[in-house]
């Protein structure tokens, strides 16, 4: 339990130095509390968060309907094994199905687990015909377990981990002809993020996802969309695939799915779902009652508060401001926005901008070396958006002067 008064950031960092595996690069700040788009550190400093929970806090920190739903569930039922039925898991699956392509859900706790489920489903689906190869895309990101790491076609994530899993084939992002050439008699699936997140908020060229759908149909492949980052309203539609009208056979979700509580899901059609036969896959905590009520409350809140529309409006605001900033500051090469998934590609390393913003109590991210990535909450106000963009703009203009 936290102490009272709480430890300072420096004291907490000492605890980590001694007891926590140092596999993350962390900012030297201990966060203690969050509300909406603000977080506070142990010293009481307030930060405006435009990278809410690495995309998990799409509704802001501690959204009241999710907190209330979880509180109500806590004294009733936390977790029972998946050898039993629970109404809440069934209702959660129903709610996701109704907003997507009418399929069925397998529940887990994270994005990488959702992708592992999709990979195993694809292999089982192809096993009778000895088809197992999965095509993924350069610059993509699918998670940190070994299967998802192998699916992630970025050599920097593979260093020292070999031998990796067999059966993954990498294609250039956006190149349909190259994908077509990689398909052979052993291919079973194509796995792609409808917008690459970690890869730099890269939006596929027009017609690319449609072309993949056609290739999948022509060659009897499963089209799997990793919507871990684009899903649950981030793009201004429930799911990223709905922004282009290309429906996948399998979709993976996590991050925002439970409004800040751990959760994940893989959705597929009832026919394809049959390939994941009983005994072939499982997740002990998957679809637990707390995650389920948080997941339902998340979807309800988005609907009740018309937040898909809000995400689109915020996207327009960010695009307009960043386009203007691009005119004024030649460090910005490109601006890419879909709802509250926002990237500004710089001509230089973006890490110093992240540090400079942190000094001014603004939380942002840089990915792929040069792309400033913002994943703000859908509940961000216009004033907060302008406040953050004013700071970011000033930081980038100052950096431009010293280049
Ligand atoms: C598109 C995508 N897939 C999968 C993952 C992995 O999710 P997790 O860290 O929950 O395993 C991420 C995480 O950033 C992601 O962005």
239 lines ligand 1 (CB under 6 A): no
* CA distance readout (Å), 395 to 28, 59, 286, 353, 356: 20, 27, 42, 6, 7
Residue where one domain finishes, among candidates 289, 304, 319: 304
The minimum-distance atom of ligand 1 relative to the CA of 227 is 1
CB atoms within 10 A of CB 272: 17
Q: What is the domain-level CATH number for residue 44?
A: 3.90.1150.10
Burial label, 212 (beta-carbon count in 10 A; 0-12, 13-18, 19+):
buried
Q: Are 297 and 313 within one domain?
A: no
143 lines ligand 1 (CB under 6 A): yes
CA 330/CA 326 separation, integer angstroms: 6
197 lines ligand 1 (CB under 6 A): yes
Q: Are 90 and 203 within one domain?
A: yes
Kindly report, residue by residue over 1-43, the tens digit of the pLDDT. Answer: 667 778 999 999 999 999 999 999 999 999 999 999 999 999 9
112 lines ligand 1 (CB under 6 A): yes
Q: What is the domain-level CATH number for residue 197?
A: 3.40.640.10
Q: Are 83 and 156 within one domain?
A: yes
Distance spanning both ends of the chain, measured CA to CA: 47
Q: Are 284 and 218 within one domain?
A: yes
Q: Are 103 and 239 within one domain?
A: yes
Q: Are 388 and 276 within one domain?
A: no
Q: Are 87 and 140 within one domain?
A: yes
- Could you give the number of structural domains in the chain? 2
Residue where one domain finishes, among candidates 275, 304, 333: 304
pLDDT at 2: 63
Please tell me the distance between residue 196's alpha carbon and the centre of ligand 1 in angstroms: 11
Measuring CA to CA, which residue among 250, 20, 228, 238 is closest to residue 112?
A: 228
Report field, pTM of the whole predicted structure over 0.75: yes
Please tell me the distance between residue 111's alpha carbon and the centre of ligand 1 in angstroms: 5
Measuring CA to CA, which residue among 117, 170, 152 is closest to residue 282?
A: 117
Q: Are 254 and 385 within one domain?
A: no
Residue owning the nearest CA to atom 13 of ligand 1: 143
Q: Are 254 and 326 within one domain?
A: no
Q: Are 81 and 116 within one domain?
A: yes
The minimum-distance atom of ligand 1 relative to the CA of 148 is 4
Tokens read off for 195: 């917008």
Please tell me the distance between residue 402's alpha carbon and the centre of ligand 1 in angstroms: 35
393 lines ligand 1 (CB under 6 A): no
The minimum-distance atom of ligand 1 relative to the CA of 109 is 10
> Please, what's the b/e burial string for 164-192 (b: 16 or more CB within 10 A of its CB; e: otherwise)?
eeebbbbbebbebeebeeebeeebbbbbb
Q: Are 115 and 215 within one domain?
A: yes
Residue 21 belongs to a domain: yes
Residue 3 belongs to a domain: no
Supply the range of the domain harboring residue 384: 9-63+306-401
Given a cut of 50, the residues of the chain with pLDDT beneath it are: none
Q: Are 272 and 295 within one domain?
A: yes
Residue where one domain finishes, among candidates 304, 336, 360: 304
């Amino acid at each position: 339990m936290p102490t009272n008064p709480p430890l300072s950031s420096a004291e907490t960092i000492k605890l980590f130095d001694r007891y926590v595996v140092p596999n993350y690069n962390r900012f030297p700040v201990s966060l203690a509390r969050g509300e909406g788009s603000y977080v506070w550190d142990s010293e009481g400093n307030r930060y405006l968060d435009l990278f809410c929970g690495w995309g998990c806090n799409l509704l802001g920190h501690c959204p009241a309907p999710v907190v209330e739903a979880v509180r109500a569930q806590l004294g009733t039922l936390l977790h029972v094994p998946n050898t039993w039925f629970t109404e809440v898991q069934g209702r959660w699956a129903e709610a996701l199905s109704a907003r997507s392509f009418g399929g069925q859900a397998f529940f887990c706790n994270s994005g990488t687990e959702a992708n592992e489920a999709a990979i195993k489903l694809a292999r089982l689906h192809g096993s009778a015909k000895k088809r197992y190869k999965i095509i993924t895309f350069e610059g993509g990101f699918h998670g940190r377990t070994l299967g998802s790491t192998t699916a992630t076609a970025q050599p920097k994530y593979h260093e020292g981990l070999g031998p990796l899993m067999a059966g993954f084939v990498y294609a250039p992002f956006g190149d349909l002809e190259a994908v077509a050439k990689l398909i052979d008699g052993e291919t079973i699936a194509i796995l792609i993020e409808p917008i690459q997140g970690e890869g730099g908020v890269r939006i596929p060229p027009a017609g690319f996802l449609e072309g993949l759908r056609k290739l999948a149909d022509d060659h009897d492949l499963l089209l799997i969309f990793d919507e871990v980052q684009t899903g649950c309203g981030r793009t201004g539609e429930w799911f990223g695939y709905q922004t282009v009208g290309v429906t996948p056979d399998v979709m993976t979700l996590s991050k925002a799915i439970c409004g800040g509580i751990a959760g994940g899901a893989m959705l597929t059609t009832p026919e394809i779902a049959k390939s994941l036969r009983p005994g072939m896959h499982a997740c002990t905590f998957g679809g637990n009652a707390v995650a389920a009520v948080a997941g339902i409350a998340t979807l309800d809140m988005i609907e009740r508060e018309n937040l898909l529309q809000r995400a689109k409006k915020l996207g327009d605001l960010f695009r307009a401001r960043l386009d203007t900033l691009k005119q004024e500051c030649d460090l910005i090469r490109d601006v890419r926005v879909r709802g509250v998934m926002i990237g500004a590609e710089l001509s230089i390393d973006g890490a110093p901008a992240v540090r400079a913003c942190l000094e001014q109590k603004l939380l942002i991210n840089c990915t792929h070396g040069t792309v400033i990535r913002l994943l703000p909450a859908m509940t961000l106000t216009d004033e907060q958006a302008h406040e953050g963009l004013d700071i970011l703009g000033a930081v980038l203009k100052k950096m431009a002067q010293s280049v």
